[in-house]
Amino acid sequence: MNLHDEDATNAFASRIVVLQTRWYASQNSNINNSEPYLARTYINMPIASSKSQTLSFYLLDTPICVYKMTIPEQYKKSYKPPFQEQPSAPGLQRKLDPQPLDDITADGRPYRPAGKLEGRSALITGADSGIGRSIALLFALEGANITIHGTNKEQHELNDIEQEILKRTSKVKVHKLIYDLRQEENCILMVQEHMNVFGKLDALVLNHGTQNANTDLPTLSSKQWHDTFDTNIHSFFYIVKAVIPIMEPGSTVTFNASINFAVGHPELIDYTSTKGAMIGFMRALSNQIVGEKGIRCNAVAPGPIWTPLIPATMTKESIETFGTSVPVGRAGQPIEVATTFVYLTSADSSYISGQVIHVNGGVVIN
């Protein structure tokens, strides 16, 4: 092509825009093709010269009748999921209506990876559904090899996310593990198996947890109290104790906590207590190891996020009003939390440790 022929050059560039946009649409279902929009793109072409320079020019505002992104209903103010219940924790993602959004951001676009975790190896617990599932998908898209954990009840859903990852990228390895993490020996075995497969651990994401609503403390059984603590905080101690000796400087430990440690959910006294303990553990751990070992420790404290735990564990009244009390005016989606985990695991957050990031729909936490 003659680079001095402006008409030919612009025609070529327009064709590139169309092809790029059609490919993008073929990868994503959240698109309609009913309206034109203005596209911009950079086109790079070689110039025949001894220095092999590259000519870059900007194709401005080229109207093409192709595709337009639409904003999912779940991101619109005052949106409430249809009322639904599941019989028991942990709940199943397959049964949720609508499905939580794992990789579609609030602008209606698919998540855009940037290689932020290339070459890293991560262990993610509770990765079968909800926030953990989205974390696993985003970590893989960002280039991390991952071990994903679930329980026996969640094995089929763990298979689902593994297949989704392998469909989306062929550049990473995924290893699945099924363990009851209430037992210390299982926590140790999980870490050992990850190391046997990948040989290193750069990022630990402790996302697993349980809850069950109770509105009258005298009726809260000691068994439920102990099960909640065994799952939500004792297992964190067991796992962190096992990984600290094998993690290198620059590694990260990130906990999934909850807004409830700060606000105190009246239906979740045992759960809230474990989340408070989790934050104290994270802060003390950071103070102990970030300077000496170079391992950063942080936590994310989500607000109301649409996951299987909601219809499986909350009271009818809480399900009916879920997400409506926060300033943003709606429940959050798993990807809105998972992107924070990508940030805290990547070099973008290299000066952050001992902190809690609140992803809660605008609730002010001091």
Query: Which residues are marked as active site?
Result: 271
**E runs forming strands in the chain:** 31-32, 37-46, 54-64, 68-69, 121-124, 145-150, 174-178, 203-206, 252-256, 296-302, 356-359
Tell me which residue of 202, 214, 365 sits closest to 296, measured CA to CA: 202
Three-class DSSP category at 68: strand
Which residues does residue 204 pair with via DSSP β-bridges, in sequence order?
A: 123, 253
- Which residues, 6 or more positions from 29, have their beta carbon under 8 angstroms from its beta carbon? none
- Quote the CA–CA distance of 259 and 242 in Å, as a whole number: 27
CA 166 vs CA 129, 143, 218, 308: distances in Å: 16, 12, 48, 23
Q: Which helix (H) or strand (E) holds 87?
A: none
Yes or no: say if 360 and 302 are a contact pair by the CB < 8 Å rule.
yes
Q: Which is it for strands 252-256 and 203-206: parallel, antiparallel or unpaired?
A: parallel
Taking alpha carbons only, the member of 99, 94, 93, 95 closest to residue 81 is 99
**177 vs 42, 156, 354, CA distance in Å?**
44, 12, 28
